[in-house]
Chains A and B, each alone.
Chain A
Amino acid sequence: MKFGVVIFPGSNCEQDCYYAIRTVVGQPVEYIWHQDTSVKGFDAVVLPGGFAYGDYLRTGALAKFSPVMRAIADFAKKGGLVIGICNGFQILAEAGLLPGALLRNVGLKYLCKFEYLRTETTHTDFTNLMTKGQLLRIPIGHGDGNFFADSETLERIEDHDQAVFRYADAHGRVTPEANPNGSLNNIAGIVNEQRNVLGMMPHPDRAYESILGSADGKLIFESMVNALVTK
């Protein structure tokens, strides 16, 4: 199963994704340059965290125009697996591959800390190895992770079971106190309606070995491998 990790000039988590997939999950992986016009030969594509083009204007606002994003949109339309982590999620939302938008955190500050995520659905190619309600301990690191959608869109997301992860407390309760950034319905990650594109603000690429404080993030990459093997 060949993974591709996209490098925008200001990506800074591409090596973490690469290392996690190759060394810990044990799958072949290659980098994809943002100027590339094709993602042919890849079974799954990762949009890593960082500040794609500096993000001085708005997160992901410039990245959506990069040549590789056209190829990725095509790839997704044909059912290819795409995961956007942090800045990758922001880019997917800007590019219209996922609904909603990521606004400035309610506290207006960048936040780096571990969070508990409740797995809301296992019917995705990213969560098929988990149980519904399973708690994952995965860190966030962002200033713009406040998930927002208009009420109609939000309703659609909930009705179609597209909210994959919600911020929760250590007991799995989804409460306002457990919400670090003001995201609507405590949403930490969503899939598209076809369920092959996931965007999440927390970083599974920082929680793949117990020495880092948690290995829960590995489950997401392994679910992707599982989905690809069984397809």
Chain B
Amino acid sequence: MTVTDEVLTQHNLTESEYQKILAILKRAPTITELGIFSVMWSEHCSYKSSRVHLRRLPTKGPAVLQGPGENAGIIDIGDGLAVAFKIESHNHPSFIEPFQGAATGVGGILRDIFTMGARPIAAMNSLRFGPLDKQQNKRILEGVVGGIAFYGNCFGVPTVGGEIYLADCYSQNPLVNAFALGIFEKDKIFYGRASGLGNPVIYVGAKTGRDGIHGATMASAGFGEDAGAKRPNVQIGDPFMEKLLLEACLETMHKGLIVGIQDMGAAGLTCSSCEMGARAGTGVELDLDYVPQRESGMTAYEIMLSESQERMLLVAEKAKEKEVFEVFHKWGLDAVTVGRVTSDGLLRVRHHGQVVAEIPNGALADEAPLYQRPLLPPKATLSSRLDDHSFLDGCPPALIETFLSESNDWNKLLKLTVASPNLCSRRWAWQQYDHMVQSNTVVGPGSDAAVIRVKGTKKALALTLDGPAYRVARNPREGAKMAVAEACRNIVCSGGRPVAATNCLNFGNPEHPEVMWQFSEVVDGMAEACSFFGTPITGGNVSFYNETFGGDIYPTPVLGLVGLIEDISFVTRSSFKKAGDSIVLIEPVTRRVGKVDLEDERAVQNLVASAIRDRLVESAHDLSEGGLAIAVAECCYSNVERAAIGAEITIPSHLEVRKDLFGEFSSRVLMTTRKVAELRQRAEQMGLTFHNLGKVGGNRLILNYESVKLVDISTDELESAWSGGLPKLLS
């Protein structure tokens, strides 16, 4: 085969990368080998631009059983139990084909979890779209939500939380980040290792087709006008098949039949076989004639690079091959031995009796090129105009002008604000997700953090996703710290203790020095805050090339944080509980916008945590987008179990009415209590500012300011504006 520049371009390989391939092989590659190198060395699989930075993230901690490098991170939650969790992006496929792109994103992350032996018990998702006044963005949002529901609901995992934000930069490049978490006994962890010479390598699950070939390469480039033509690169999901795979895989694990397992995700059979070999220091020999195929006449190149969904590769003990087959056949699945483990460290692929590829596993998995790409702070940054009210970013210009104008009709303004695109209820979306299956959901979607109980213990897990992209775009380092601070605050407000995190780093083109600078800054900010709060990053995903027509998205790191609630009786909700409860605000002495002081943040969180433990708190809600007025409104109506409840409060004044109502100051928490004096004393002892704002009660929300009644509105009216916001935008 002659490898021309054109062939290299098609494979997204540079000349120097090709030279490296020649050096490794000491000969010219076959076309199959070239394809294998191209997917394994793609940005998506090799992290070649990000790895030098990711090393700076903290990954170890007392609870961490498994850090980055495996299919998912694992933490110890006590009682002999562990949880595996991870977040991953499926941005590019979701732009091309929203429904299937999102569905297979969910499928992929679920496989990462049960590959390790854990049964998935919760899913969440973080989504970004362009504004909904554009028809295309509506179609993408509806497709993505539909795809997530289709896959998760059928598979039987509760989708317990997530976030949706809209901003212009996502118009041509939506983000779909899927998180999943599974539970298992901590001595029953499985790894993706091909160990044991002569052991059979077994292919299980769906047949291999031509779908998704070069999906990983697609995810490693931006989009131009040919985006539509890439539709065949998107895979099709079958959640029923995945459910069968889950049950069958867990059964083989529990019966002690297998020694290693890895799902075929990005880069399919290629990635799973060479990574399993590389981790165990072994070779893997495959005979593609045995691979179950959906289409006839597939070439070795196509079989190795296919990203058909719902497939796994197992390595079983030689004597137990038959028993493995029996389990899979019981579940109606294909299971075929396609190769064996060897001692030579090579990935050797045969097809029709010929060796079509022979590459050292280590070279593919660990020796991908590493790039120290140039970093350059951008000349122009986002304007600071919306710093006090970041929720306005992505809103229609008319709404922004109305909000920022000198309007004095505060009733109208509040109603408008609660219904605005980034603050209105996401119920329309999450009602389509089964968030109750498995009967563990204590606090479902629409809260600061989701809470699921752990059956057989008195514990619960608190889970949250946070990705304040506007803040990160304004200041990547501070924004990343804010993401960590807010995620921790969410966990603490729900009664938990933050334990560990996973991150999905969505960025533009890494070949743009400004993008790499953002990336580096975000990693540093995240590293600093995660070290400070003791929440190591146990894994995650980097998604680069989120650009269309040369325009990069906001740097959008999304942090998935897992917290532990030691006693289920500590679970605290954000919604107001009972008429007569006092509403109090806790904040640091210094007000800050767009940045966070970690010591202040810790003081606030320590107060909330200790007050919850000592039963001083009836409800707790973190203040974020839209500030105090929005937080109070949310507490009135966020309890789906009952009708909205009213409140009357007096807003602390700094003589800047709009900022005092809607300003987004960092590190603030709204709580209700029946023990005001005790709480005040504690807050003041810790050097925090304590405001006794007013009381819960009635059926109106009343906001007083400097002895003027600014807002007096029926909570029902406010709630219907809020809950009707998204359906109205979509209609």
Chain A residues at the B interface, C-beta cutoff of 8 Å: 9-10, 12-13, 15-16, 19-20, 49-51, 53-56, 109-114, 139, 141, 143, 170, 203, 205-206, 208-209, 211-213
A94 to B89, CA, bound (A): 39
Interface 1/0s, chain B 416-458, versus A by CB < 8 A?
0000000000000011111111110110000000000101000
Chain A: CB-nearest residue to B441:
A212
Cβ contacts A to B, 23 pairs, < 8 Å? A9-B240, A9-B244, A10-B154, A10-B244, A51-B239, A51-B240, A51-B243, A53-B240, A55-B154, A55-B240, A56-B240, A110-B434, A112-B430, A112-B432, A112-B434, A112-B435, A141-B153, A141-B436, A203-B436, A205-B439, A206-B439, A212-B439, A212-B442
Chain A positions within 8 Å of B568 at CB level = 211
Chain B: CB-nearest residue to A20:
B439
Chain B positions within 8 Å of A111 at CB level = 431-432
Within 8 A of A (CB), among B635-668: 640-641, 643
Chain A positions within 8 Å of B435 at CB level = 112
Chain B: CB-nearest residue to A50:
B156
Chain B: CB-nearest residue to A14:
B156
Chain B positions within 8 Å of A213 at CB level = 641
Chain A positions within 8 Å of B438 at CB level = 15-16
Q: Is B566 located at the chain interface by the 8 A CB criterion?
A: no
Chain B positions within 8 Å of A56 at CB level = 240
Chain B positions within 8 Å of A9 at CB level = 240, 243-244, 247, 331-332
Chain A positions within 8 Å of B155 at CB level = 12
Chain A positions within 8 Å of B433 at CB level = 110, 112
Q: How many A-B residue pairs have CB under 8 A?
A: 82
Q: Is B149 located at the chain interface by the 8 A CB criterion?
A: yes
Chain B positions within 8 Å of A50 at CB level = 156
Closest-CB distance, A111 to chain B (whole angstroms)? 6
A29 to B603, CA, bound (A): 50
Closest-CB distance, B250 to chain A (whole angstroms)? 12
A15, A16, A53, A211 — most chain B CB neighbours (10 Å) = A211
- Contact between A208 and B434, CB atoms less than 8 A apart: no
- Contact between B243 and A12, CB atoms less than 8 A apart: yes
Chain A positions within 8 Å of B455 at CB level = 19
Chain A positions within 8 Å of B149 at CB level = 109-110
Contact of A112 among B154, B238, B431, B641 (CB under 8 A): B431
Chain A positions within 8 Å of B240 at CB level = 9-10, 51, 53-56
- Contact between A206 and B243, CB atoms less than 8 A apart: no
Chain B positions within 8 Å of A141 at CB level = 153, 434, 436-437
- Contact between A109 and B432, CB atoms less than 8 A apart: yes
- Contact between A12 and B156, CB atoms less than 8 A apart: yes
Interface size of B as a range = 20 to 34
Interface 1/0s, chain B 355-369, versus A by CB < 8 A?
000000000000000
Given contacts A54-B238, A109-B432, A139-B436, contact A114 B442 (CB under 8 A): no
Chain A positions within 8 Å of B241 at CB level = 54
Chain B positions within 8 Å of A205 at CB level = 439
Given contacts A13-B156, A114-B640, contact A208 B243 (CB under 8 A): no
Chain B: CB-nearest residue to A52:
B240
Contact of A113 among B331, B431, B441, B442 (CB under 8 A): B431
B238, B439, B441 — most chain A CB neighbours (10 Å) = B439
Contact of B439 among A10, A51, A110, A208 (CB under 8 A): A208
A51 to B153, CA, bound (A): 9
Interface 1/0s, chain B 395-434, versus A by CB < 8 A?
0000000000000000000000000000000000011111
A124 to B588, CA, bound (A): 60
Within 8 A of A (CB), among B580-610: none
Within 8 A of A (CB), among B216-255: 238-241, 243-244, 247
Chain A positions within 8 Å of B239 at CB level = 51, 54
- Contact between B641 and A16, CB atoms less than 8 A apart: no
Closest-CB distance, B679 to chain A (whole angstroms)? 26
A102 to B247, CA, bound (A): 28
Sample of 13 further A-B pairs with CB below 8 A, known A51-B239, A112-B435, A203-B436: A9-B243, A19-B455, A54-B154, A55-B154, A55-B240, A56-B240, A110-B153, A110-B434, A112-B436, A141-B437, A206-B436, A206-B437, A212-B441
Given contacts A51-B240, A112-B433, contact A211 B442 (CB under 8 A): yes
A57 to B527, CA, bound (A): 49
A16 to B155, CA, bound (A): 15
Chain A: CB-nearest residue to B569:
A211
B239, B240, B434, B442 — most chain A CB neighbours (10 Å) = B434
Interface 1/0s, chain B 297-334, versus A by CB < 8 A?
00000000000000000000000000000000001100
Chain A positions within 8 Å of B153 at CB level = 110, 141, 143
Chain B positions within 8 Å of A16 at CB level = 437-439
Contact of A110 among B332, B432, B441 (CB under 8 A): B432
Chain B positions within 8 Å of A51 at CB level = 154, 239-240, 243
- Contact between B243 and A113, CB atoms less than 8 A apart: no
A114 to B641, CA, bound (A): 8
Chain B positions within 8 Å of A114 at CB level = 640-641
Closest-CB distance, A2 to chain B (whole angstroms)? 22
Closest-CB distance, B6 to chain A (whole angstroms)? 41
- Contact between B640 and A12, CB atoms less than 8 A apart: no
Closest-CB distance, B102 to chain A (whole angstroms)? 14
Chain A positions within 8 Å of B439 at CB level = 16, 19-20, 205-206, 208-209, 212
A180 to B411, CA, bound (A): 32
Closest-CB distance, A148 to chain B (whole angstroms)? 22
Contact of A211 among B238, B243, B430, B453 (CB under 8 A): B453
Chain B positions within 8 Å of A211 at CB level = 442, 453, 568
B430, B433, B438 — most chain A CB neighbours (10 Å) = B438
Chain A positions within 8 Å of B238 at CB level = 54
Chain B positions within 8 Å of A15 at CB level = 438
Closest-CB distance, B408 to chain A (whole angstroms)? 36
Chain A: CB-nearest residue to B119:
A15
A213 to B447, CA, bound (A): 15
Closest-CB distance, A74 to chain B (whole angstroms)? 24
Chain A positions within 8 Å of B243 at CB level = 9-10, 12, 51
Chain A positions within 8 Å of B332 at CB level = 9
A212 to B460, CA, bound (A): 12
A191 to B227, CA, bound (A): 53
Contact of B437 among A12, A20, A113 (CB under 8 A): A12
Closest-CB distance, A203 to chain B (whole angstroms)? 7
Chain B positions within 8 Å of A49 at CB level = 437
A152 to B431, CA, bound (A): 34
A54 to B332, CA, bound (A): 12
